[in-house]
Amino acid sequence: MQGYSHSVHDTVHTHLAYGRLASHSEKEKPFLSVRTLGCLNVGLSFRDLEIGAVLVSEETARQNYADLVYSVSRSSEASSQGKSGADAKVQESKDIVVTSEDGITEITFNRPSKKNAITFQMYQEIMLALKNASRDNSTITVFTGAGDYYCSGNDLNNLINATGEIQELAIKCAMALRALVSGFIDFPKPLVAVVNGPAIGPAVTLLGLFDAVYASDKAAEMLLFGKKLTAKEACAQGFVTEVFPDSTFEKKIWTRLKAYAKLSPNSMKISKELMRKNEKQKLHAVNAEESTIIQERLTSEERSNALLKFVSRKVKL
């Protein structure tokens, strides 16, 4: 049977998410396995990405599941044994704040005076926070922002104040983004975004790698062509899982997340791995391709002109 596809665009590249119905032998007893397809760097909640059905034999499905349970269990044991006091390093950061309570590790963008714009240092701190969260005793991991913004994207001072050759800077930016995205792709636990305010740039495109995205009705996303999208519009398009009134957002969402955190950690990790495992290779391939394109764009004349216009506008203000 023929599958179906649709394209999703971001500012750099076009990604295709597609599903395919595999054929099966008439001699085999069909067993339906539904998989959710991930898509790199687009503003889609994981729940709402395209779903494809895969028909395999019941015996094969059972064996695959048994293998997966064994591998995840071994991974969990190794992570638990290898855990140390590494959390302290990232928790000392003032720009990325990490707390753990009630089975939830919360990672907060904490530059409210800069609308939580991401610096090069923050890239490193986010990756360390993800690494630590994957090994700690929490059940789920949550990203949110301090103040009125969730995150305003990359801090352009990364480029304005940079020293050295532009080619070196482009490589540094591309490598940092690729490493960050890889961390989200490989993260083993349920990953939730609590979008408390506007999100711009990579803060939007990374949402496609979250398992659930909850937004306040004051949140807005900046997508292709710079058009603002309200949280309700984003939810209607499947970009966001659910929208809450801003007045009750914090209370309702954290009550829900605390209930989720009481669920079986290993069961949720296994379920996520079942949904993700066949797509990780594709996601990493797209991530590598996109990083190459970003590196090329950062050395372009178009990028230089845009940055000059931005600096000129700041001077006039």
Predicted confidence at residue 68, as pLDDT, reads 53
Q: What is the dihedral of CA 75, 78, 80, 83, to 10 degrees?
A: -120
Confidence category of residue 226, pLDDT binned at 50, 70, 90 = low
Confidence category of residue 10, pLDDT binned at 50, 70, 90 = very low
Contacts of 67 (CB under 8 A, 6+ apart): none
Among 177, 209, 202, 186, which Cα is nearest to 135's? 186
pLDDT in tens, 55-84: 445 555 555 555 555 554 444 444 444 444
pLDDT in tens, 99-137: 999 999 999 999 999 999 999 899 999 999 999 999 999
Predicted confidence at residue 249, as pLDDT, reads 95
pLDDT in tens, 87-106: 444 456 899 999 999 999 99
Chain mean pLDDT for the chain: 74
Q: What is the dihedral of CA 156, 160, 164, 169, to 10 degrees?
A: 20
Confidence category of residue 156, pLDDT binned at 50, 70, 90 = confident
Percent of the residues in the chain that have a pLDDT greater than 70, as a whole number: 64
Contacts of 170 (CB under 8 A, 6+ apart): 294, 295, 296, 298, 299
Tell which phi-psi region holds residue 102, choosing left (phi > 0), alpha (psi between -120 and 50) or beta. Answer: left
Residue 108 and residue 145 in contact, taking contact as beta carbons nearer than 8 Å: yes
Other residues' Cβ atoms within 10 Å of the Cβ of residue 77: 10
pLDDT in tens, 169-188: 778 888 889 999 999 999 99
Q: Helix, strand, or coil here: 230?
A: strand
Q: Distance between CA 220 and CA 152 in Å, rounded?
A: 11
